[in-house]
Amino acid sequence: MKKLLLSATFLMVASISFGQDLPENPEPGKCYVRCKTPEVWKNEDVTIEIAPAYKRIITHPAEYKTVTERVLVKEAGKRLVVVPAVWENKVISYTAKEDANKLRVVKASFSQDSETIETKAASAKWEMSEKAPDCESSDPNDCRYWCYKPIPAQFVTIPLTKLSQDASTVSSEVPGYEKTYLKRVMVTPPTTKEIEIPAVYGSIKKTVLVKDAWQEEVSITAKYKTVTKEVLVNKGGLTTWKEVECELVNNTPLPINWNLGSATLTAGAKRIIDARLLPILKDGVAVAIESHTDSRGTKANNQDLSERRAQAVTNYLISKGVNPSQLTGNGFGERKLTNRCADGVSCTEAEHRANRRTTFRVINQK
């Protein structure tokens, strides 16, 4: 009954997906998957030149010999010897201070005098005389008379200082004097005389060329390498339908025991793949490989580990000759746990082990 339901479900999905592209004359209760004929390749050997022919040049160094040669080290010359000048001391007189005159100042002399100046001129005025003592008149004016009395001039005397002799100078002679100094006088000027210096010779060793460098050419043959290339013989891509066991369209466990944190297939894991997957794939069907981890560790690390494990199975199958178009591999990390053992839940090792699994299922090829 279960097979009938699975096959019916599969056929319904297939009919929706592919329309009228269905197997011809299917048998009730059986399951079919669509396959495409794989590309057929063959190996051909191609010889290519990996190193060209060329010539190699062998050089031979130049040949030399050592010879001794007498050479002029220093040319002949002349040496000038200076004959110094002859000197003597001579006393020279000179005027240290010249004759001069000294002036003495004679101060000006003065005399005392005076001058009288009229300050008010002489004048006159009328005056009434006094009553005569012997006047018998009762009117005193009868005994008086008017007189025009003179008023003498007024003078003032002012003392004066007069110059007797103005200031002058008296010159007196101040005699100079002489001194002497010692002067060194050249009696005979300096001269030179030439002294002959002979040439100097020495011996040197030098390397002279006997035979210059030369070359010889050696021919090197080309190198070739034979490589194998894959040549497409049949493009493939033809659609066919193959009968498969209905259980294989669902995820079927591959009982692989992965080492903790590892995506490397052990020898036992490879034997399981050889026994369970290779016979199915040799029929030409396509398989989807899925790998899962438990919830321990980070989600990112678990996702990466599951992807690497799925890829490890895929790569191994390809190495066994399975066409890559028949394989898809996906890792789901801890996203599809089979039990309650999510993050933060305490579980046994057996429960965690149930989540660490790799499965496969047969799929249609597009």
Question: Per-residue pLDDT tens for 130-159?
Answer: 766 777 767 767 677 778 788 888 888 888
Q: Residue 162 — very low, low, confident or very high, per pLDDT cuts 50/70/90? A: confident
**Considering the domain boundaries, does residue 296 fall inside one?**
yes
* pLDDT at position 214: 85
Determine how many CB atoms are found less than 10 A away from the CB of residue 309: 27
276-299: average pLDDT: 87
Tokens 């008296």 label which residue? Answer: 170
Domain boundary among 174, 195, 213: 174
Asked if 258 and 169 sit in the same domain, the reply is no
What mean pLDDT comes out for the span 202-208? 87
Domain end marker among 111, 143, 174: 174
Mean pLDDT of the chain: 81
pLDDT tens, position by position, 247-285 = 777 888 888 888 888 899 999 989 999 988 888 888 778
| For residue 3, pLDDT beyond 70 | no
Residue 340: its pLDDT value, please?
92
Whether 72 is covered by a domain: the verdict is no
Judge whether 85 and 186 are in contact, CB under 8 Å: yes
Q: Do 168 and 267 belong to one domain?
A: no
Residues in the chain: 366
Whether residues 257 and 359 share a domain: the answer is yes
d(CA 72, CA 52): 58
User: Who's near 297: CB < 8 A, 6+ residues apart?
Assistant: 305
Domain-embedded: residue 310: yes
Same domain membership, residue 352 and residue 255: yes
The answer to the question of residue 26 being in a domain is no
State how many domains the chain has: 2
Using pLDDT thresholds of 50, 70 and 90, give the confidence band for residue 35: low
Whether 170 and 260 map to the same domain: the answer is no
Q: For helices 267-276 and 299-319, what crossing angle results, to 10°?
A: 60
Instruction: Determine, yes or no, domain membership for 193.
Output: no
Query: Percentage of residues in the chain with pLDDT exceeding 90?
Result: 11
Distance CA 287, CA 280 (A): 9
pLDDT of residue 7: 43
Closest CA to 53 of 229, 227, 217: 217
Quick check: is 78 in a domain? no
CA distances from 83 to 184, 191, 192, 196, 300 (A): 18, 5, 5, 16, 106
Q: Are 167 and 110 in contact (CB under 8 A)?
A: no
| Residue 338 belongs to some domain of the structure | yes
Question: Residue 316's domain is classified under what CATH number?
Answer: 3.30.1330.60
Q: At residue 11, does pLDDT exceed 50?
A: no
Task: Assess contact for 148 and 126: CB atoms under 8 A.
Answer: yes
Instruction: From 142, 174, 206, give the residue that closes a domain.
Output: 174
Is there a single domain that holds both residue 165 and residue 265? no
pLDDT at 6: 41
Q: Which domain holds residue 142?
A: 100-174
- 288, part of any domain: yes
Whether residue 318 contacts residue 324, with contact meaning beta carbons closer than 8 Å, is answered with yes
